[in-house]
Amino acid sequence: MSRVTYYDVVDIYEIQKVMMLDEKCKHDKEKTYQPKEWDTNVSESYSCDECGEELDLPEPEEDTIRGEDR
């Protein structure tokens, strides 16, 4: 029989926390996009306002890439 260590308990807790977060928040509500700020060394990010989880950056719209205005 193997012994359960402190690190095993922490790993199990982290896994449960992530699973509970995924069940609670679907990231359907408000999200915040933070553009990169060169002068203050702030990196680009995208996060859920409800749970604070970092999300994948959204793809830019084609019109924005081409520089077209409507």
> Would you kindly state where each structural domain of the chain is located, as residue ranges?
6-66
The pLDDT score that the predictor gives to residue 50 is 82
Q: Are 22 and 15 in contact (CB under 8 A)?
A: no
More confident residue, 46 or 4: 46
Residue 6 reports pLDDT greater than 70: no
| Residue 62: both structure tokens together | 């084609």
Contact 21, 51 (CB under 8 A): yes
> What is the per-residue pLDDT for 1?
57
Burial of 38 (0-12, 13-18, 19+ CB in 10 A): exposed
Q: Over the stretch 22-64, which tens digit does the pLDDT of each residue have?
A: 566 777 889 999 999 999 999 999 998 888 889 998 887 766 6
Q: According to the model, what pLDDT value does residue 67 have?
A: 63
Q: Do the beta carbons of residue 29 and residue 49 sit within 8 Å?
A: yes
Report the pLDDT value the prediction gives residue 3, as an integer from 0 to 100: 73
Task: Quickly tell me which residue has 């719209």 as its tokens.
Answer: 61
